[in-house]
Amino acid sequence: MAKISAATMTRMQELGSAWVFKRAIQDNKTWTSWQDIKKDPTTFNEIKKIWKTVGRVDWTIADDEWLDNFYKQQQLLIRKIGRPNFTEFSRDGGPKPAYILPGQKSGETFMDWVSKYVGDKFQIAKKDNWNPADIWLIQNEDKWKRKIVEAMKTPTKTQKKGAVEANLIQFNNIFRALFRSKQIVGISLKKVGGAASWKEVNVSGKFFKNLESIEMKYMGARCKTGTKLIDAAQQAKGRGTSGLATVETQDTVLMIKDNGTEYTVQIKALAGSKFDNLKFEPTQKGKGAARMGKATREYVIDLMEVYGILRRWPDSWKDYPTNKTEFTPALQKQYQSMLQEMKSDRVDIGDLTPLEGVINIRETLGDKNQAWVANSKLMQIKWLYAFLTLSTKNRNKFCTDLIFLAEKAGRRYGPYGKIY
């Protein structure tokens, strides 16, 4: 079977969801099980066409789990929003040419339009940094695009940051009203294994009020500093020399709890095979393996500045050792001291001493090892140490804000429904 990239598989799944939603809502089609979808030629043939056209693969029995996912998603969606008179079920915004579902208009998709609009109007480079909706269900798309553009007109094109923020709030308020009236409904999709759940994010005043009352708890962290050997597969990709040591994990993980809900936040380099800055990716435990999404880096940096973390933590990888020479004895002593304090403050550094951890990192900075992994680990240790200087209350508040940033929850973000 041909290997399908994660991005292509995501595109296939989301187009499949959009098509099943169209059949269920616009065509008023009902099924009693996922097997019924497979027996429905109109629905199933288009899903197979998506697999063949987008993924360049044939449907197999192993793919039937996606029919179960599509069935559960549409069943929940109809229970939550009914069958409004949507005319567009839009996903694309991926590689060109766009995949146009039967009965949908050709040309620029709503995803393409709104991505370009928020980029031009609010300098938001990636649409998901405003709204993580994967598909859009829309009544009378052209009408609402015209009305949105008209409502957002300003006297001048050049705007200062304050005006841009004010306009973004207005833009989000328009989309909230359109969501509540079921004119434009953005939906974020996660694969459904067991029972499907629905959550409306950034839609109501009650949602924002609840956000303000939530304070999660920091429970501890993992920052492993043991070693493992570089294997032949990594060497073949130019990632060090087989048989030499590298740090056992490329990440640091925070554990966070909100009453009965648990989260982990994975902190690691943006790129896994070169020097790079850190990204922060939370996952809600018990809701499948899908991450909630990366917290927008510029907003995370703003958050760190508010809590005073930036005063103790340089946020560029260039400020950390990239080889053994730069990792001086004085620096090694500092990191050993940091690891010692962290170990006594609910941080799991592995079954080894802080000195052994520092030695492992130093060896990984070798020319033929994986110096970028060691560089990132040093950056993570420094960040975690800075975070742990906060009071218990501020640790909890920072973690709460970080989870909301990743979920795109708050007034600076657009409204969406989440099926998971």
Tokens 């795109």, residue located: 408
> Is 204 part of any domain?
no
pLDDT score of 333: 98
Q: How many CB atoms lie within 10 A of CB 411?
A: 12
> Is 168 part of any domain?
yes
Tokens 């970028």, residue located: 372
Domain match, 25 and 165 both: yes
Domain match, 224 and 365 both: yes
Q: How many separate domains does the chain show?
A: 2
Nearest one of 408, 371, 78, 328 to 230, comparing CA atoms: 371
Cα–Cα distances in Å, from 94 out to 99, 119, 121?
A: 9, 16, 21
> Is 211 part of any domain?
no
CA 353 to chain centre: 34
What are the phi and psi torsion angles at 79 (to 5°)? Answer: -65, -30
Please state, in angstroms and rounded to a whole number, the distance separating the CA atoms of residues 203 and 284: 21
pLDDT score of 289: 44
pLDDT score of 295: 83
> Is 157 part of any domain?
yes
pLDDT score of 157: 59
pLDDT score of 88: 94
Domain match, 32 and 160 both: yes
> Is 99 part of any domain?
yes
Q: How confident is the prediction along the chain (420 residues), in pLDDT tens digits per residue? A: 568 899 999 999 999 999 999 999 999 999 999 999 999 999 999 999 999 999 999 999 999 999 999 999 999 999 999 999 999 999 976 677 889 999 988 888 899 999 999 999 998 988 999 999 999 999 999 999 999 999 998 765 556 667 788 889 999 999 999 999 999 999 999 999 889 999 999 999 999 988 888 889 999 999 999 999 888 888 888 888 888 889 999 999 999 999 888 999 999 999 888 999 999 999 888 654 455 767 888 889 999 999 999 999 999 999 999 999 999 999 999 999 999 999 999 999 999 999 999 999 999 999 888 999 999 999 999 999 999 999 999 999 999 999 999 889 998 899 999 999
Domain match, 125 and 88 both: yes
Burial class (CB in 10 A: 0-12, 13-18, 19+), 200: middle
Please state, in angstroms and rounded to a whole number, the distance separating the CA atoms of residues 405 and 296: 7
Cis check: omega of the bond before 97, within 30 degrees of 0: yes
Residues 6+ apart with CB under 8 A from 117: 148
> Is 210 part of any domain?
no
Domain match, 192 and 226 both: no
φ/ψ bin of 308: left (φ > 0), alpha (ψ from -120 to 50), beta (otherwise): left
Domain match, 233 and 189 both: no
Domain match, 192 and 223 both: no
> Is 207 part of any domain?
no
Buried b or exposed e, range 298-331, using 16+ CB within 10 angstroms: ebbeebbeebebeeebebebeebbbebeebeeee
Choose the final residue of a domain: 163, 196, 229. 196
Q: Residue 98 belongs to what domain range?
A: 6-196
Domain match, 172 and 308 both: no
> Is 205 part of any domain?
no
Domain match, 187 and 227 both: no
Domain match, 152 and 106 both: yes
